[in-house]
Amino acid sequence: SGGGRALDRIAALLEKWRPGHQKAPHRFSQSDAILITYGDTLLQPGQPPLKTLYGFAHRYLRDSFSGIHVLPFFPFSSDDGFSVTDFHSINPELGSWADLGRFRDSFDLMFDFVLNHISAKSQWFSNYLAEMPGYRDLAIEVDPEIDLSRVTRPRALSLLTPFQKETGETVHLWTTFSADQIDLNYQSAEVLYKMVEVLLDYVGRGARLIRMDAVAYLWKEIGTRCIHLPQTFDIIRLLRAILDIAAPDTVIITETNVPHQENIAYFGNGTDQAQMVYNFTLPPLLLHSLMSADARVLSRWAASLSTPSDETTFFNFTASHDGIGVRPLEG
């Protein structure tokens, strides 16, 4: 079966895996704080932005932050970096892997694992359009006549986008976020294997925290909402199991901007999925408290919080690159 083939290839990949020095599995405390920033926030003439950022962080931030999340630093075609053209490269306008590697001396690094989709301008997608071996099942082809009205939509854009293959055939592909972001087909063993390779590449390059971008939409099943499906949780459990073997000090953090009860499902049983989830309900409640000069709603909600194990914790934040979402206030 496809699953069996994927397992054999992943097992072989792990057999060859030679991790660098590993720390003990991370236990978070209130002293942990992570700076979220784009790689080109600070600029200095004649210097790669990542080198400039490192110089600033090393000089001024070591006593304040334990980690740094450089938002997608890969080559990209749209969506502020979240339409990645090459998962294994750094955008040369930002710097090099060596520039990023410098941070490891002073900070834990968080990498974006943009696992739901890839850029329509990527080589992988070009290979798909050419029907090259290993890429034929990369994307999700759907009959445009099928009723997809139940599908949960994070953006008010067309769910399907037509593309023409090199054979001349027109196909309609699943594009959850934009016509430039091709959803990956995780029913393909090839796709799963390629993305495990990406994950291990990031760990090998120093990622201590893996941010799973838009992970809630990972699996598509026509006739369902196509969000939070059981297969999505299965894939997270698989990736967690792989990291527990290859790099047990690496932390998964899931990004699911949804109501609170749906969000905390990504902790799993406390040992088998994400060690951290973004605390998406906090920013709008904090803003509400400031605007109303009344912290009772925030305090009541905060008092209700719990996590399923001492291995899990909330990633508390006040705003992100997406701003402050209000959907997490549902309920």
Q: Among the options 40, 99, 108, 213, which is catalytic?
A: 213
- Determine how β-strand 67-70 pairs with β-strand 34-37: parallel
- Kindly report the number of other CB atoms within 10 A of residue 231's CB atom: 13
Within 10 angstroms of residue 290's Cβ, the number of other Cβ atoms is 11
Alpha carbon dihedral 67, 271, 247, 104, in 10-degree steps, equals: 0
- Which residues partner with 163 through β-bridges? 171
**Annotation marks residue 213 as catalytic:** yes
User: In the chain, what are the helix, strand and coil shares in percent, each to the nearest 5?
Assistant: 35, 15, 50
Whole-angstrom Cα distance, residue 82 to residue 318? Answer: 21
Structure tokens at 144: 């445009």
CA 35 to CA 69: how far, in whole Å? 6
- Whether residue 299 contacts residue 286, with contact meaning beta carbons closer than 8 Å, is answered with no
Question: Could you list the active site residues?
Answer: 213
